[in-house]
Structure 1
Amino acid sequence: MMQPYQSHDTVTSSHTAAGSMEEAGEAVQTEGIQVLLSDQSGDSAPHCLHGPTLLFVKTCQGKEQGRRFYACSACRDRKDCRFFQWADEKVSQVRLLAREEYNRSCQPPMTHQQYMTRFQEFIALPLAKRKFCRECQLLLLEGDWQEHSGHHLLGDVSVSHMKRPSQLLHPLENKKSNAQYLFTDRSCTFFLDTITRLGFTRVLCVGTPRLHEWIKSKTLKDSKSKVKSLLLDIDFRYSQFYSQDEFCHYNMFNHYFFGGEAAQTICQKYLQEDNGQGVIMVTDPPFGGLVEPLAFSFRKISDMWRTTANTDDSPQLPMFWIFPYFFETRILQCFPDFCMLDYQVDYDNHTQYKHGKTGRKQSPVRIFTNISPKSIVLPAGEGYRFCSICKRYVSADNKHCDVCMSCTSKDGRAWKHCPLCNKCVKPSWTHCSSCGRCVLEDHHCGNSTVVEGCFLCGDKGHKRSSCPQRFVTGVHKKMQKGKRNRKVITKKGWHIPAARKTNRKQKQKKQAF
């Protein structure tokens, strides 16, 4: 999974936690921040250190509220990327020059070609002199040892280490700016076996470094294997291990190649090789990312491939998009010809999304693809079976519903059909006549956690955060006064907080003097 945990905290439509989204279902919120892809281009948008920024606007019930603004595509926390600019703001030349200088200072210390030159020097060293700095995440030459003398160094870096750089590098796991989770060997084996069985000879790995190195290592071991791989990833550290023909520094949320036109040309030639035949894209974006910018970038990649491919037979680049099942509705809105497979993808360094005692029983991560599901064989040894009615492989507990005429389970458990809702629902849900739908048994009937309208002025057209009366002097002071005089309830009844009491005692002491 590629590392940036994209966009900003206020983007409510797709930044909800995985567990809460799973329980809430697939309802699309009409509240929050919306990205405006049709109203911007990479040429006109200002750049931050992660490439072209995205254009956002605050929305309420589908209507724009307030001014549009540009923000980073790669970080959802302003601490990780401080860029912010109003869309209608006029930026001075001095500020533009300062911004460009800052962006340059935050780029990798060396070019891809310089990293490759160092790599050739590194592999020429004897094993005893091959060192890797764990703190700086850098392969060290003899001239670098003094500078890193106080750091934690790994010695005797073998060829096998360099063939599996994802095990040598520390995964970036800051959920507000990075989410670099790596496939297990089990998942990599399934992907490579499936790709080979389907007849693909080239794989474009977008944010899947573990699969990229798995393909390369298996190709070296098996001379009969003809599968090639090109990695696109925002983690520039892989520039130390892969040449320009094997790795491109890339941001999948704004379709930006950090290497410029040269890197984009390498990717395009790779896609168009053999007239576009035999290539498949496998992508594993961070789950916190917005679906719409991802789909926009994936269409751009498909356009790069389509220029020489037979568009009559293959209107879209064959694709595996790895994402949680509760994003199905949003993905199908962007790619209506996609379908979701039952195969559960797991990760080495994720406590929940993997098999074993420390993981959850069912991983929510699935594969969305535009390849016919009946041609993709899921391993019977892991409990998958073929449904002769649906003409596809499903999980063992995914029972076929004769009413829905489909194997309806999404999370791997056996779902049940509700005749009142006229659809299959999760086994833990029951139909509530008051709510008029199936919900959890211990839900608060008719008590929605979402407050409709503005808490301040009562208008249903916006929320308190965007209320025009919020900073009117009288109203604002009244709100602040209410907060200061707020009481809390205890077992003995209403009670003024201790801080308020302290202030009152101090006031009494002053009056005494």
Structure 2
Amino acid sequence: MAESQRPGVAVVVLDRESSAPPPRCPHGPTLLFARLLQGKEEGRRFYACSACRERKDCNFFQWEDEKVSEARLSARETYNQSHQPSFSHRDNVERYKEFVTLPLSKRTFCKECQQLLLPPEWGRHSGHQLLSDVSVAQLKRPTNLLSPLENKKTNAQYLFTDRSCQFLLDLIVAHGFKRVLCVGTPRLHELIKFQTSSKQICIKSLLMDIDFRYSQFYTEEEFCHYNMFNHHFFAGEAAYEVCQKFLQQGKGEEVIVVTDPPFGGLVEALAFSFKKLFAMWRQTGGTDADSKELSMLWIFPYFFESRILEFFPHFTMLDYQVDYHNHALYKHGKSGRKQSPVRIFTNLSPRLIVLPEEEGYRFCSLCQRYVSLENQHCKICNSCTSKDGRQWKHCYLCKKCVKPSWIHCSICDKCTLPTHSCMNSDIGCFICGSADHKRTTCPNRHVAGRGDRDGTKARQKKKVNVSVMKTTGTKKIRTAKQRKSKK
């Protein structure tokens, strides 16, 4: 199928002016999407869920200009309410207080329902797998008690290793921060609370996460049920004020945001929410609030660097490899392409962030920052250019450093893998149709929602059957279903 015939890529539409608020699904306000074809919107805009990858997980879909009847609105509201947690956050706080007063032999946790149980509730969970004798130490480490959400098509939940978590906390302490807003980083939150309770440090922490299970272990001043893809506080104004008060305490000084979003998340939507957090912080009324920026550590794969810098140009990517204890691939210490691709993006000065030399980092006096040992300084680029931890090589034709496994292709006129196919070299940009660049570097990528989405290349399809695929941030339009030929 020719490029001009391919259905457009779905992009999120942000910063729009509308008299009516967006419709809601069980995960809060939906996001507006449009399809792009050669720089122009194609077809009708539509609303879809911000927090699920596939329609089977949340099947919300509505055209932007669709007239919705009162009966359907009422049914939708009933549906949304039915998909909310059975206990409120306040209920869970009271239940926790009662739970800790029970003798150890009666402290029971249901592994199937992921819920702390009180004695009158045991009968309803008689056939479930139960954990008995839950200690106070276990209650202080809920990430070890709860099962990680590992459905990659909804909200995969990977937790920092002790090494990475302690590094982040050491960095926070070294820079003198007294408050940490943990957005999607439950393990860091619990480590801060654990070390503060034992008087090793003196730092306050607020966890904001879409996983409501944590409300069983933290008060309303310690946890907010939050969707980072649409800046939605499920508890409404009360939770919003908790976050605002936390950010503005002490005129907004000595506070930092640490976030670890799902890697399939739309960078545009995440950046939009984070900038709203920045705006909440700026409302402190300080004299220099407008000239300063809220400190932040954004944990994300290195190949999203250009997208993050597009929205936060003052950020820098550190060479430090973040790893996860429940992810088979994202592990520190592996060599070559098997090492973790996850890095830290921050607006803190990289010169002041010390990376551990015993883990394979060194200080580059020319770049004035710590880099991995194999990240050698290129005299031509005047920078330590490697992004993935390997030593990169300089290509004089491309006028930049490239991955060591790449070669310069005279047909494509760029460096790429030796096994690549030159057949697609004339396709060019999917957005504007130009043959001299791809859509990831298109100057028109901001059209209809500040840019198109990075993703896998569109595959050729035989039968067109449009359906919506939604992700915790990433939205895709599946334009065709290809049947395998039977031979």
Secondary structure, aligned partner of 2:307 = helix
Instruction: Compute the TM-score of the two structures, normalised by the length of structure 2.
Output: 0.85
**Structure 1 pair 190–470 and aligned structure 2 pair: CA distance change class (3 A):** closer
Instruction: Compute the TM-score of the two structures, normalised by the length of structure 1.
Output: 0.81
Instruction: Report Cα offsets for 1:342-385 as digits up to 9, x if no partner.
Output: 00000011000013679974210000111111011111111111
RMSD: 2.7
* Mapped partners of 1:354, 1:88: distance in 2: 47
Choose 302-311 or 100-109, whichever is displaced more.
302-311
* Mapped partners of 2:96, 2:336: distance in 1: 37
Q: 1:160 pairs with 133, 137, 143, which one?
A: 137
**Structure 1 pair 209–470 and aligned structure 2 pair: CA distance change class (3 A):** closer
- 1:280 alignment counterpart: 256
* Mapped partners of 1:410, 1:135: distance in 2: 41
Alpha-carbon offset, residue 39 of structure 1: 1.8
Instruction: Report Cα offsets for 1:448-469 as digits up to 9, x if no partner.
Output: 596999xxxxxxxxx99999x9
- 1:340 alignment counterpart: 317
Alpha-carbon offset, residue 441 of structure 1: 1.3
**Structure 1 pair 465–410 and aligned structure 2 pair: CA distance change class (3 A):** closer
Q: 2:304 pairs with 318, 323, 327, which one?
A: 327
**Structure 1 pair 375–452 and aligned structure 2 pair: CA distance change class (3 A):** closer
Secondary structure, aligned partner of 2:22 = coil
Number of aligned residue pairs? 438
- 2:212 alignment counterpart: 236
Letter of the structure 2 residue corresponding to residue 198 of structure 1: H
- 2:340 alignment counterpart: 363
Alpha-carbon offset, residue 219 of structure 1: 1.2
Letter of the structure 1 residue corresponding to residue 218 of structure 2: Y
Q: 2:39 pairs with 62, 77, 89, which one?
A: 62
Contact 1:65 1:466 in 2 (8 A): no
Letter of the structure 2 residue corresponding to residue 417 of structure 1: H
**Structure 1 pair 451–410 and aligned structure 2 pair: CA distance change class (3 A):** closer
Contact 1:352 1:360 in 2 (8 A): no
Letter of the structure 1 residue corresponding to residue 379 of structure 2: D
Letter of the structure 1 residue corresponding to residue 65 of structure 2: D
Q: 1:306 pairs with 273, 276, 282, which one?
A: 282
Q: 1:102 pairs with 65, 79, 91, which one?
A: 79
Contact 2:363 2:369 in 1 (8 A): yes
Instruction: Report Cα offsets for 1:309-343 as digits up to 9, x if no partner.
Output: 45457532100000000001111111111110100
Q: 1:189 pairs with 166, 178, 191, which one?
A: 166
Which consecutive unaligned segments of at least 5 residues does structure 2 have?
Answer: 1-5, 431-457, 466-481
**Residue 93 of structure 1 pairs with residue 70 of structure 2:** yes
* Mapped partners of 2:79, 2:13: distance in 1: 26
- 2:227 alignment counterpart: 251
1:39-54 map, 5 Å: 39=16, 44-54=21-31
* Mapped partners of 1:257, 1:359: distance in 2: 41
1:82-161 map, 5 Å: 82-161=59-138
Letter of the structure 2 residue corresponding to residue 442 of structure 1: T
- 2:410 alignment counterpart: 433
- 2:188 alignment counterpart: 211
Secondary structure, aligned partner of 2:221 = coil
Letter of the structure 2 residue corresponding to residue 76 of structure 1: R
Identity across matched positions, percent? 64
**Structure 1 pair 78–385 and aligned structure 2 pair: CA distance change class (3 A):** same
Contact 2:182 2:205 in 1 (8 A): yes
* Mapped partners of 1:275, 1:30: distance in 2: 50
Q: 2:378 pairs with 401, 407, 411, which one?
A: 401
Larger RCO (CA within 8 A; separation ≥ 6): 2
